[in-house]
Amino acid sequence: MAEVRLGGVTKQFGAVRVIHGVDCTIADGEFVVILGPSGCGKSTLLRIIAGLEQQTSGQVFIGPRDVTLVEPKDRNIAMVFQNYALYPHLSVFENMAYGLKVRGTPRAEVDTRVRRAARTLELEALLDRRPRQLSGGQRQRVAMGRAIVRDPQVFLFDEPLSNLDAKLRVQMRVEIKRLHQSLRTTSVYVTHDQVEAMTLADRLIVMNAGRVEQIGTPLEVYTTPASTFVGGFIGSPPMNMLSGRLSASGDSVELGDTAVALAGAFPTHAGRPIVLGIRPEHMSIGGRSRLSASVELVEALGADTLVHATTGSAKDIVTLRLPGDARVDRGQRLAIDVAPANLHVFDRDSGQRLGR
Amino acid sequence: MLHERSWHAHLALVLGVAVFAFPIYMALNGSTWDAGTIGGGRMPLYPGAEAAANYGQAWFSGEGARAKGAPVSVMMINSFLMAVIITLGKVAISIISAYAVVFFAFPLRMFFFWMIFITLMLPVEVRIIPTYAVAANLGLIDSFAGLTVPLIASATATLLFRQFFLTIPDELVEASKIDGAGPLRFFWDTVLPLSRTNIAALCVILFIYGWNQYLWPLLITTSPEMETIVIGITKLVSTADAHTDWNLIMATTVLAMLPPVAVVILMQRWFVRGLIESEK
Ligand SMILES: Nc1ncnc2c1ncn2[C@@H]1O[C@H](COP(=O)(O)OP(=O)(O)OP(=O)(O)O)[C@@H](O)[C@H]1O
Ligand SMILES: [Mg+2]
């Protein structure tokens, strides 16, 4: 087990730069999820850690060792691929044993280790089968078995569950979590599935267009998004973003002709254009609010009711998450109330968070 | 709809088979009559009684009333060795070059690929004179090396393996890298076993290709001990006299057909699998 550290890692494919300088440290035993939209460079970053892709500049450390120029096989990592990448002509046992065999592990030890891994993953009955005789979930488990038998310092997962159906995905997610809790091996897990990310991660790395937008625990990332991108990417439905302008004193926001008071003050940005972020569940109706909106669409989901409405003056679309028993009708005018502590203020030009 | 038509389809197939099978039947039939009956142009459509004599003569001496040739047994062994060496050589060379072209990034890789590809457009006949000159200078005339080596380089087989290797997912290559396998190990442990069916199918095709070689053996062999069966048959036919030993020729022809047929029958299961299925 070891920590993983990236220092100023960049990657260019020809003239196109896809990773723009990533610095981060993944602690020993931590489960870190890299989350971001498609094409943002998650897989590329993971493959750089694995050594399958050579970075253009920057360094990679695993434990105290600089592995920047080390071959994948000598990095002491194991990787689980999206398409499982099992050897089609080998049995489940041989698939799991292959890495050990290549490394010249004595036969008896290979046997014990594979059987132990098979027991952990409930693959004992399948050891003699070929991959094509297995279901998707079983193949995924074999792929994980192949990773754990080698007892590497780091596990790397690239969207390992995205080929499974929804139910199996939930089940495997729980299994991966449990596995990590018993093995405590440093893990880096790439996904674009928010729920997977939130439930598995000790910490999240949110990426956008080759840059790290925010690193933090799932709750931190949710409650204090570092940018409009993170606010909009994490959470479903996403955070509402309203364009406005800070007042001259910097302690309230002018949204069209209404003014909304803030919990804090931002005198340095007084008078500047900002974006006001509000989570759907932090909006309620009634109270003393001056934010008015008219209802466009109501989605009753049972536990919650999602209300899509356009705000009076600015014509922004907002989504409210109301309790399931809320009675709202299309066309109705709503007075929306938000506690000042739940207002997120972002700089409009840079998208960076200013505060609450 | 389809079912109604199957009667016609069957008829067409039966006719087709009859057209293709008739010459073979005639060869089989001819090998059972004596030379006089065939030569007189009155050979019946039913088998005669000379089969044992004809086959025995062809197999052990190869000498007819007029024709002078090597015994079929010698020619069969020559042909068999030639076909096997060509097959194994072609498979080995082409699988290795396809492996290099697909899995390694080296300077001028595409150049080399196109060089191999272009040789597809040059049939043996086009380069036969220079090839002969080189082989003769190297002293390869009347040797198995001379018979086989110039035929071994194969663009077709290389392309076939390349297309197959391109279907091996990148992730499998990477998984193998992480598992610690180097290039040779990956070739031996993963690529080769996955190519099994392709290799088998190719072996069948190449064996027949080698067995049927005519022009090159004709040039490169001169002594009767090195004669191949295909050459032997033509020599039997081209006796200048009116009297041709058709009974012997037919027996030799039938014997010459047996190894390719045996290979196809023995390898049929693999062959079909290689053509229709890729194990992934
Ligand atoms: N071998 C390559 N050559 C050129 N460009 C590449 C190569 N591999 C990836 N890219 C580009 O790099 C960018 C990042 O790709 P990457 O695969 O890391 O995205 P990702 O975040 O994993 O996306 P996804 O969620 O769809 O898997 C993409 O714009 C992609 O087009
Ligand atoms: Mg990816």
Q: What is the pLDDT of residue B239?
A: 64
Give the CATH superfamily of A238-347. Nucleic acid-binding proteins (2.40.50.140)
Q: What is the pLDDT of residue B280?
A: 42
Q: Which has more pLDDT, A290 or A268?
A: A268
Q: What is the pLDDT of residue B246?
A: 82
Cβ–Cβ of B172/A82 closer than 8 Å? no
Dist. CA B168–CA A28, nearest whole Å: 35
Answer whether residue A164 shows pLDDT above 60.
yes
Which atom of ligand 1 approaches the CA of A47 most closely?
18
Cβ neighbours for B97, distance < 8 A, ≥ 6 positions apart: B116, B158
Minimum-distance CB partner of B180 among A73, A87, A89: A73
* Token pair 């014509």: residue: A315
- A103: contact with B, CB 8 A cutoff: yes
The count of other CB atoms within 10 Å of the CB of residue B248 is 27
pLDDT digits (tens, 9 = 90+) for B94-137: 999 999 999 998 899 889 888 888 887 777 778 888 889 999 99
| Helical packing angle, B155-166 and B196-211, nearest 10° | 170
Give the pLDDT band (50/70/90) at residue B269. Answer: confident
- A136: contact with B, CB 8 A cutoff: no
Q: Rg of chain A over CA atoms, in angstroms?
A: 24
pLDDT digits (tens, 9 = 90+) for A283-324: 988 766 668 888 999 999 988 999 999 987 667 889 999 998
Cβ atoms of residues A305 and A323 within 8 Å: yes
The token duo for B101 is 């072209």
pLDDT digits (tens, 9 = 90+) for A18-44: 999 999 999 999 999 999 999 999 999
Dist. CA A140–CA A160, nearest whole Å: 7
Give the pLDDT band (50/70/90) at residue A17. Answer: very high
Dist. CA A247–CA A259, nearest whole Å: 8
Window A:250-279, CB contacts with B under 8 Å: none
pLDDT digits (tens, 9 = 90+) for B47-95: 888 888 888 888 887 766 555 667 888 889 999 999 999 999 999 999 9
Q: Which fold has domain A4-229?
A: Rossmann fold (3.40.50)
- CA of B279 vs chain A CAs: smallest distance (Å): 7
Which atom of ligand 1 approaches the CA of A42 most closely?
21
Q: Where are the domains of chain A?
A: 4-229, 238-347
Q: Ligand 1 in contact with A18 (CB < 6 A)?
A: yes
Residue type, A184: R
- Ligand 1 centroid – CA A218 distance (Å): 25
For chain B, percent of residues with pLDDT exceeding 70: 91
Q: Which has more pLDDT, A239 or B241?
A: A239
Q: What is the pLDDT of residue B61?
A: 77
Q: Ligand 1 in contact with A137 (CB < 6 A)?
A: no
Cβ neighbours for B100, distance < 8 A, ≥ 6 positions apart: B106
Cβ–Cβ of B279/A88 closer than 8 Å? yes
Q: Ligand 1 in contact with A43 (CB < 6 A)?
A: yes
Cβ neighbours for A280, distance < 8 A, ≥ 6 positions apart: A235, A237, A239, A240, A306, A318, A319, A320, A321
The token duo for A180 is 């990590």
Cβ atoms of residues A343 and A356 within 8 Å: yes
Q: How many CA atoms lie within 13 A of A243 on its CB side?
A: 8
Strand-strand pairing, A77-80 and A154-158: parallel
Dist. CA A334–CA B110, nearest whole Å: 67
Give the pLDDT band (50/70/90) at residue B279. Answer: very low
Q: What is the pLDDT of residue B242?
A: 55
Whether domain B31-280 has CATH 3.40.1280.10: no
The model carries a pTM of 0.84
Q: Where are the domains of chain B?
A: 31-280
- CA of B192 vs chain A CAs: smallest distance (Å): 10
Which atom of ligand 1 approaches the CA of A46 most closely?
18
Give the pLDDT band (50/70/90) at residue B161. Answer: very high
* Token pair 């142009």: residue: B41
What is the average pLDDT score of chain A? 91
Cβ–Cβ of B180/A103 closer than 8 Å? yes
